[in-house]
């Protein structure tokens, strides 16, 4: 299998690189500096029509959108047990978390970060930043309660979204929590969860080789 990941460090593409490391798959890394506008090059737009990352080429088949790529890769290698088999007992919960991360958790923190430091100063709107920070905290409050219940039920110190263990859903959720650790640190169970994920060897291989 030939895999090429179109990548830029400290973006959503980190999710895919982390997953590839967890799967222990060989892959080629093609760095696209989206912050300098490289994503808008005519040739790259043939790969990702919106000029963003990640995009992935698997044996000549192109796919973009990080959640879709994660699902495809995790399901393609069932022996790695990073996604429950379709129609299995835990699949519904897994899908719930996969969609929760991009639909409920990611939007408010991304908008907050956009209007705090990602956008040029003249384009930032403080009211948008503050409103989305409050929204993000509301999501974290409920998520903290859910994770605390899961931890109390767990027979080990390891805390994951599914009681069958680490899965791609943890990659999706963890990668978002990593964006603003100073906020997550106010929620003890979530912070412990995110720190445990950061210590995984596959994640360490991802960040230690940032380009």
pLDDT in tens, 132-154: 999 999 999 999 999 998 776 66
Domain contains 23? yes
Same-domain status, 67 and 162: no
Same-domain status, 112 and 156: yes
pLDDT of 155 > 60? The answer is no
Same-domain status, 184 and 125: yes
Domain contains 110? yes
Domain contains 209? no
* pLDDT score for 208: 78
Query: Under a CB-based contact definition with an 8 Å cutoff, are residues 162 and 98 in contact?
Result: no
Out of 82, 112, 144, pick the residue that ends a domain: 82
Q: What CATH number is associated with residue 113?
A: 1.20.1050.10
Mean pLDDT of 72-82: 97
Strands 3-7 and 28-31: parallel
Instruction: For residue 168, give its domain range.
Output: 91-200
Same-domain status, 95 and 178: yes
* pLDDT score for 209: 64
* pLDDT score for 14: 97
Least reliable range by pLDDT among 57-61, 171-175, 187-191, 206-210: 206-210
Same-domain status, 101 and 75: no
Beta bridge partners of 190: none
Same-domain status, 78 and 120: no
Q: What CATH number is associated with residue 71?
A: 3.40.30.10
The 10 Å Cβ neighbour count of residue 13 is 26
Same-domain status, 111 and 70: no
Domain contains 208? no
> Which residue shows structure tokens 């007992």?
89
Same-domain status, 74 and 107: no
Query: Under a CB-based contact definition with an 8 Å cutoff, are residues 150 and 159 in contact?
Result: yes
Domain contains 207? no
pTM for the model stands at 0.94
Mean pLDDT of 116-140: 98
Tokens (6 digits) for 109: 């923190």
44-65 pLDDT, tens digit per residue, is 999 999 999 999 999 999 999 9
Out of 49, 82, 115, pick the residue that ends a domain: 82
Same-domain status, 64 and 157: no
* pLDDT score for 211: 47
Same-domain status, 189 and 108: yes
Give the chain's domain count: 2
Out of 82, 112, 138, pick the residue that ends a domain: 82
* pLDDT score for 157: 65
Same-domain status, 50 and 112: no
Same-domain status, 75 and 171: no
pLDDT of 199 > 60? The answer is yes
Q: What's the whole-number average pLDDT of the chain? A: 94
Distances (CA, A) of 84 to 17, 43, 162, 164, 168: 20, 37, 10, 9, 10
């Amino acid at each position: 299998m030939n895999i090429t990941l179109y990548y830029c460090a400290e973006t959503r593409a980190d999710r895919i690189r982390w997953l590839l490391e967890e799967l222990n798959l060989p892959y080629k890394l093609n760095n696209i500096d989206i912050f300098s506008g490289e994503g808008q090059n005519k040739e790259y737009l043939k790969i990702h029509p919106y000029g963003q990352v990640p995009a992935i080429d698997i044996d000549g088949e192109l796919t973009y959108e990080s959640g879709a790529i994660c699902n495809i890769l995790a399901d393609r290698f069932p022996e790695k047990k990073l996604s429950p088999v379709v129609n299995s007992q835990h699949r519904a919960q897994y899908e719930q978390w996969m969609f929760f991360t991009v639909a409920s958790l990611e939007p408010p923190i991304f908008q907050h970060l956009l209007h705090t430091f990602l956008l040029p100063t003249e384009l930032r709107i403080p009211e948008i930043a503050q409103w989305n920070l409050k929204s993000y905290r509301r999501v974290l409050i409920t998520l903290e309660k859910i994770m605390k219940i899961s931890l109390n039920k767990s027979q080990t110190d390891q805390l994951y979204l599914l009681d069958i263990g680490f899965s791609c859903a943890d990659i999706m959720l963890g990668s978002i929590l990593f964006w603003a650790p100073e906020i997550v640190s106010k929620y003890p169970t979530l912070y412990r969860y995110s720190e445990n994920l950061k210590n995984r060897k596959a994640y360490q291989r991802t960040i230690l080789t940032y380009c």
